[in-house]
Structure 1
Amino acid sequence: MALTFPPMMQGQPVDEDAFTEAQRQATLGCDAGLITYGTRADVIEAALILSPEVPLSKAMAMLPLCAVGFQNALGALAPPEVSVHLEWDGKLRVNGASCGAFDVAASTDDPNAEPDWIVVGFRVPFLPESDEMGHTPDRTALAAEGCADVAPDQLIESWARHTLHWINRWETDGPRGVHTEWRGLSHGIGEDVTQSGLKGTFMGIDEDFGMLLKDENGQTHLLPLTTLLKGQA
């Protein structure tokens, strides 16, 4: 049965790799709002094609925005004791353990150019990789964290609705609302991290969601979200 999406969004089921298929469809010139999705027994994945009419440096806000939409969606469907947090680079954490991630691609990597399209997609394990999860305590799956009754189709539909809500807020009010929501859900601020080959303390984010990283010498580096772009499929 086909999934139901909000107005201005359309769905296209895929057998595998929704993120790659979304990039292919975007390159072919499909309309923004297309969601490619897959709901296999072990993995849930979906990707959304967007065309924000701003320079890429600003449009990259779609990555944390879509991740906030996912947190809101899973938070609404999962039992109340399930916690969902967001890492700066798109990774997701459920009850403290790594549980899938978001990726982002665009038609250009020039921060000052307006992209023809941006694709943001997630891939989340629903079932554990093995029955012996004690060997990988930092990795988990939704079913192992109390979400076995969350229907994959329902999660993708809810993600679309919550993401559209945040897109509308972003278009109306700018990034401030998303910025505030993301900070409240973020994982790792104040901790030592390694990102893009740099080691230091994750101090927070700038107005465009760039990572502020203070190294051991006290120098603060700005890592823009564009460093997370994946190469085109």
Structure 2
Amino acid sequence: MSETVTFPPLMTGEAAGSGQDPFDLACQKAELGVDAGLVVYDLGTDVLRAALVLAPEVPLAKAMAMLPVCGLGFQNALGALAPPEVAVHLDWDGGLLINGARCGSLRIAASTDAPDAQPDWLVVGLDLPLWPAGDGGDTPDQTALYAEGCADVAAPRLLESWTRHCLHWINRWDEGELKALHTEWRGLAHGIGEDRQQAGLSGTFLGVDEDFGMLLRDDTTTHLIPLTTVLVQD
């Protein structure tokens, strides 16, 4: 697609070249010192991929909040464009669900994996299938945007909306509105109260701590799984 995409103030866009993964490209540019606010994107015919470069001035453990922040941004963005009956939920590790089925994901990388270190950069990527791959009946737990009543949602407009809503939540997070962030996220979180396996542990997903670490309760104790465990490693 060659449609013009307009980004909010403080953000700039760059289309990825053919065959380039916007997430990998954004990480490379961040490593070379590009300014925060760059959005690298690919508006393919069957998938929307984008990555946002950030530079939170806090330790990584707290900066990981950018994953749920961008998840809220996605739900708000699609909610503004899709029919009202379309339901979006967010998995703790970045998975996206539309009408109860898996539909793409968010992923996150940073310049460091040390929780107490302030990262030089952080990148959040969005991968969203627009059209199903093959026969959707083969994978009933997987879906695509246009298979869920969202055929009128143009990918460029969704990308614009996602960046605007991400910026809104980033600003609220930066202003210390953590309670609002947690409240909104918990209302969209998938699987709280259900059994789950994560990081080699099994138990009931109770919720998250102040830094969005997973609280997983087994028969004897409650484990805290830091959100840093979902970082994409080089």
Report which stretch shifted further, 166-175 or 54-63.
166-175
Match for residue 14 of structure 2? 12
CA distance in 1, matches of 2:72, 2:103: 15
Per-residue deviation, 1:174:
3.9
Runs of 4+ in 1 over 3 A off after TM superposition: none
How many residues of Structure 1 are paired with residues of Structure 2 in the alignment? 230
Q: 2:201 aligns with which of 198, 201, 206?
A: 198
Q: 1:109 aligns with which of 101, 110, 113?
A: 113
TM-score with structure 1 length normalisation?
0.97
Instruction: Deviation per CA, 1:78-124: give whole Å up to 9, x if none.
Output: 11110000000000000000000000000000000000000001101
Per-residue deviation, 1:46:
0.7
Match for residue 229 of structure 1? 231
Per-residue deviation, 1:133:
1.2
Match for residue 30 of structure 1? 34
Per-residue deviation, 1:149:
1.0
Could you say what secondary structure the match of 1:160 adopts?
A: helix
CA distance in 2, matches of 1:195, 1:100: 19
Q: How does 1:95-106 map to 2 (within 5 A)?
A: 95-106=99-110
Per-residue deviation, 1:136:
0.8
Match for residue 181 of structure 1? 184
Instruction: Deviation per CA, 1:142-175: give whole Å up to 9, x if none.
Output: 0100111100000000000000000111111242
CA distance in 1, matches of 2:42, 2:210: 33
CA distance in 2, matches of 1:27, 1:37: 17
Contact 1:67 1:90 (8 Å CA) reproduced: yes
Per-residue deviation, 1:177:
1.6
CA distance in 2, matches of 1:52, 1:20: 19
TM-score with structure 2 length normalisation?
0.96
CA distance in 2, matches of 1:126, 1:150: 10
Contact 1:11 1:36 (8 Å CA) reproduced: yes
Match for residue 48 of structure 1? 52
Match for residue 63 of structure 1? 67
Q: 1:86 aligns with which of 87, 90, 94?
A: 90
Q: Give me the CA root mean square deviation.
A: 0.9
* % identity of equivalent residues: 62
Equivalent residue letter for 1:10: T
Match for residue 74 of structure 1? 78
Match for residue 122 of structure 2? 118
Match for residue 153 of structure 1? 156
